[in-house]
Amino acid sequence: MTYDLLLKGGTLFDGSGRPGERGDLAITDGRIAALGAVQGDAKRVIDVSGLAVAPGFIDIKTHSDFTLPINPKAESKVRQGVTTEIIGHCGFSVAPVLPGKVDLLRDYLSPSAPWLPFKEMSFPTYLDTFPATAVNAGMLVGHNTLRLMVMGMDNRAPTEAELKAMCDLLEDGLKAGALGLSSGLFTSPGSYAKPDEMIALCRVVKKYNGGYFTHIRDESNNVLDAVAEAIHVAETVGIHVEIVHFKCSGVDNWGKAAVGLKMIAEAKARGIDVDCDSHPYTAGSNPLKNLMPQWVQAGGVPAMIERLALKETRERIRADIERDGLNNWGRIPNWDCVQISISPHLGQYAGRTIADLARERNADPIDVVCDYMIEDKGATRVLVISISEEDIQAIVKSPLALVGSDGNCVATYGITSQGMPHPRFYGSFPRILGHYVHELGLIPVELAIHKMTGATARALRLSDRGLLKEGYRADITVFDPDDFTDRATYGDPHQYPTGTRTTVLVAGEIVVENATHTGALPGKVLRRDMSGAVS
């Protein structure tokens, strides 16, 4: 038999969590045709001796819907070994967009998608017209987007008709193949939803065997209550719930990660289908406006900007933060922990901290924040250092926690190279394998790969990805275990990982060869069928 491609002599990690075994891997027609001591010829043979051969990494938690249409090569992700991204998280999806609502969604998502063109479209149209990219993409319908389309920024429960309208829009997306529903219960308007609203929407998800992916209601002072709420939804509705970018933010909450992981483990032991994922960094990222008390955003961006100019608004913000810490982030040591990341209208300040600007202007940090949001039209994105390294390591070690970058696909050139994004955009997966596996020996490489591949595929119900198995799609990552780590930093984030021999295949087509992008765009939009299987 003549195969299309033969990867010869590598150490095969099949994604199941088993230790690697030396062998060959043959590919024909975009699928894995043979494993082990492969007999036969191949049109091309690549010597991968000394290298790890693994399923392509599945980034279960990303916002690359904001960048893939303008960066289809997905440079920062495929160079990490990522072959599949799940997008539309935290309630923020770029569809559906109803007539007359384009500007509303554009303004709302301006800190996250400042360069993305928006237009009226249904979710089925969004799936059908998504451009060709280097990676596979599975889409979620965002709850915040549904609320914006139906209710705007109103802080109230939906009427029966409004809830039905949201359910209908969600059902349109699920029928077309969306993988499920995402929520961002930490910020308006998602935070205005009570648990019964989310359960009603999740019953629609259940009808189509989809999943529910939630940025829980609080990741700081009430994080354990928020984990309990997510588990309650999974148990009540009987669907898979993914707690995304699980963290315990704020100095008052350091050490709680182990408790949250125990709650998830106990729920799974009761038969409840719940998982979590995380990225390996002590800083998170958010729009600057989301760090403010939730009432600040009431009425949308124009109303917020008008409100921020008032002295009484600033005094109330100051009092709320002194009492409760930052919204969803808790109490931080100081304002040096908040760094400007992406600032569409004030790009010269990228990389500066709020404390730095306050010292320069001889001003109170709250006044600096309010002035900055006014000047940048509410579009500023920041990094927030608020997580303990001990909690990060507890999550990395846990077999329960999957790996999700919470990062966009960007590049070191072009429009997505602007600003100072979180280093997780470039380094999440190699940071696990290079720093926590190779340098610290925190977990064995086979467990780390399992958390990035087979375990993630199970959570997503991917029917033919996530394992090295005959008949499965040939989404493959080849890397040198001794030379594969992150280089991106908070001060210099636009850096690809190390690894001169890294090679990545999507559907059997080489996208990265020896750390060089080939320009290939073989990725596809993944869709869930009525049985729940995704392909």
Average pLDDT over residues 19-45: 97
Bridge partners of residue 505, in order along the sequence: 476, 510
In tens, the pLDDT along 150-167 reads 999 999 999 999 999 999
Contact residues for 39 (Cβ-Cβ < 8 A; gap 6+): 1
**Which among 360, 477, 501 has a CA at the least distance from the CA of 78?**
477
In tens, the pLDDT along 104-127 reads 999 999 888 888 999 999 999 999
**Which among 190, 186, 181 has a CA at the least distance from the CA of 140?**
181
- The answer to whether the CB of 183 falls within 8 A of the CB of 205 is no
3-class secondary structure for 461-501? CECCCCCCCCCCECCEEEECCCCCCCCCCCCCCCCCCCCCC
Please tell us whether the domain made up of 57-286+387-456 is placed in CATH 3.40.50.620: no
**Which among 470, 466, 476 has a CA at the least distance from the CA of 507?**
476
Q: What share of the chain has pLDDT > 90, as a percent?
A: 97
- Cα–Cα distance list, 138 to 67, 177, 208, 489, 516 (Å): 14, 9, 15, 28, 25
pLDDT at position 125 is 98
Whether residue 360 is predicted with pLDDT greater than 90 in this model: the reply is yes
Where are the chain's structural domains?
2-54+466-484+496-519, 57-286+387-456, 288-384
Say how far residue 406 (Cα) sits from the centre of its chain.
Answer: 3
For residue 69, cis peptide bond before it (omega within 30 degrees of 0): no
**pLDDT interval class at 297 (50, 70, 90):** confident
Give the Cα separation of 333 and 386 in Å (integer). Answer: 8
Assigned token pair, 69: 């249409």
**pLDDT interval class at 1 (50, 70, 90):** confident
How many CB atoms within 10 Å of residue 363? 13
In tens, the pLDDT along 424-468 reads 999 999 999 999 999 999 999 999 999 999 999 999 999 999 999
pLDDT at position 413 is 97
Amino acid at 39: Q
Average pLDDT, the chain: 97
Quote the CATH superfamily of domain 2-54+466-484+496-519: Urease, subunit C, domain 1 (2.30.40.10)
Give the Cα separation of 28 and 15 in Å (integer). Answer: 20
3-state secondary structure of 507: coil
Give the Cα separation of 145 and 73 in Å (integer). Answer: 27
Contact residues for 361 (Cβ-Cβ < 8 A; gap 6+): 368
H-assigned helices in 152-256 = 160-176, 195-207, 223-233
| 174-199 exposure pattern, b = at least 16 Cβ within 10 A, e = fewer | bebbbbbbbbbbbbbbbbbbeeebbe
In tens, the pLDDT along 61-120 reads 999 999 999 999 999 999 999 999 999 999 999 999 999 999 999 999 988 888 899 999
pLDDT at position 421 is 95
DSSP 316-362: HHHHHHHHH-BTTTB--S-GGGEEEEE-TT-GGGTT-BHHHHHHHHT
Q: Do domains 2-54+466-484+496-519 and 57-286+387-456 have the same CATH topology?
A: no
Whether residue 300 is predicted with pLDDT greater than 90 in this model: the reply is no
φ, ψ of residue 440 to 5 degrees: the values are: -90, -20
pLDDT at position 115 is 86
In tens, the pLDDT along 228-237 reads 999 999 999 9
DSSP 64-105: GGGTTTT-TT-HHHHTTTEEEEEES-TT--S--B-TT-HHHH
The pairing of strands 52-55 and 476-479 is: antiparallel
Average pLDDT over residues 2-19: 98
- Cα–Cα distance list, 359 to 368, 382, 477 (Å): 10, 18, 47
Q: What share of the chain has pLDDT > 70, as a percent?
A: 100
Indicate the angle between helix axes 365-375 and 311-324, nearest 10 degrees. 120
Q: Give the angle 161-242-493 at the CA atoms, nearest 5°.
A: 110
Whether residue 298 is predicted with pLDDT greater than 90 in this model: the reply is no
DSSP conformational letter for 528: B
Burial class for 323, CB neighbours closer than 10 Å (0-12, 13-18, 19+):
exposed
